[in-house]
Amino acid sequence: MGLLKQDIVCLKHISLYCGELERLHLHGGTDEEIDREFNAVCQTVWGYTLDDFDDDDLAAEDHRWLDRLTARKAYVFALKHGYDLGDYEDMVSDWWGFAWMILAEKRGLLTPAQRARAWQKHDERLRAAGVAAVLRR
């Protein structure tokens, strides 16, 4: 058996959550619509989004790895961590962003405390840039 022997039943198939996201990519969704739907998929799968942790909390080694990441490497990485980034055609469109989420989960960054810290840091940057107040839903 190969290194990637996995119990396929236990894999979380990301493509099952990406129907609307893929439709937006294929039919000219705006960047804002795509970002919103990507965040909705992340929220559904992990309960967190890319905004809920700070990039600075990843080691320089992780950033170098992400910078060199290819679709094939992302697919193998995801499989090793219980996720399937494949879809009927090839890979889900936003495989790179989903690889970030899987890495953040692996590094323990998807927690309520990390979320609060990331948003506090984001708010501080906005206030430093002259924003008077930050309102959230």
**pLDDT tens per residue across all 137 residues of the chain:** 455 555 555 789 999 999 999 999 999 999 999 999 999 999 999 999 999 999 899 999 999 999 999 999 999 999 999 999 998 778 999 999 999 999 999 999 999 999 999 999 988 888 898 888 777 76
Neighbours of 117 (CB within 10 A): 16
| Distance between CA atoms of residues 13 and 15, nearest Å | 5
pTM of the predicted protein model: 0.86
DSSP H or E run through 79: helix 71-80
